[in-house]
Structure 1
């Protein structure tokens, strides 16, 4: 019997307890065969001093969704996944609402993965474009 999408989302989000994702209120909201989407509220907890979304919070959102995508699409009984590099280009400011990060694979290799992450706001405006590299390393037996 396969697990429902809603049950899988609940399972995924449950592992975020006591992590940066919980602190920033990041939650995984959707996934499919080749993508994963997370959302984060934009409020004073993620502002920079002038009252707009902090680029570091955006990068944390992007790395979280990209890393989760690598985990979700890997055999974690055999490998563990770590991020190796992230880049972020911030294009527009946000002061309220939510931001959504959609991770899709540009390269899904056995050892290395390259993930494109597009961050948008509630009105589907492009806020940031990020790239995350991850590596899958063998688990010790």
Structure 2
């Protein structure tokens, strides 16, 4: 079942992130399906901690970026917008190099909240982290 309220152009979504943290970390949206959105991020000097592995905060940034972007396309954007309420990340595997891919799928798409699952995997498809993102759905000011 298709969950999107409007068409998602991956190039436009990636471009929308220019001059933001997602641009700095080189997050690129790569695939959209009927019920998921995915983006990838390099594991490099910008995303590593001193021990040489991907920083846990970088996982959270990727998860929130792909999940919150997906959330925006599940509402009527002329009337509503979504903001993050909570994120939880469990790290499963360390990454030293390459790319990680975050795939966001909804658990719940309600009128006032959304809950998303974002799995982050390496290029071989091995699980790196599991993330749960809760979004608030807010009404735009009607002036």
What TM-score do you get using the length of structure 1 for normalisation? 0.94
For residues 8-28 of structure 1, give each alpha carbon's deviation from its aligned partner in whole angstroms, at most 9, with x where no partner exists: 111111101000000111111
Where 2:94 maps in the other structure, the secondary structure is coil
Matches within 5 A, 1:40-55: 40-55=41-56
Matches within 5 A, 1:15-54: 15-54=16-55
The unaligned stretches of length 5 or more in structure 2 are: 1-5
Greater helix content? 1
- Any runs of at least 4 consecutive aligned residues in structure 1 with deviations exceeding 2 A, and if so which? none
Q: Cα RMSD over matched residues?
A: 1.4
Partner in structure 2 of residue 131 of structure 1 = 132
Distance 1:108 1:125, change over 3 A: same
d(CA) in 1 for partners of 2:7, 2:84: 28
The unaligned stretches of length 5 or more in structure 1 are: none
For residues 19-54 of structure 1, give each alpha carbon's deviation from its aligned partner in whole angstroms, at most 9, with x where no partner exists: 000011111111112100010001111100010000
What TM-score do you get using the length of structure 2 for normalisation? 0.92
d(CA) in 2 for partners of 1:80, 1:45: 29
- Paired positions, count: 137
In the TM superposition, residue 93 of structure 1 has moved relative to its aligned partner by 0.2
In the TM superposition, residue 4 of structure 1 has moved relative to its aligned partner by 8.2
1:60 aligns with 2:85: no
d(CA) in 1 for partners of 2:24, 2:121: 20
For residues 53-100 of structure 1, give each alpha carbon's deviation from its aligned partner in whole angstroms, at most 9, with x where no partner exists: 000001000000000010122111000110000000001100011000
d(CA) in 1 for partners of 2:127, 2:98: 14
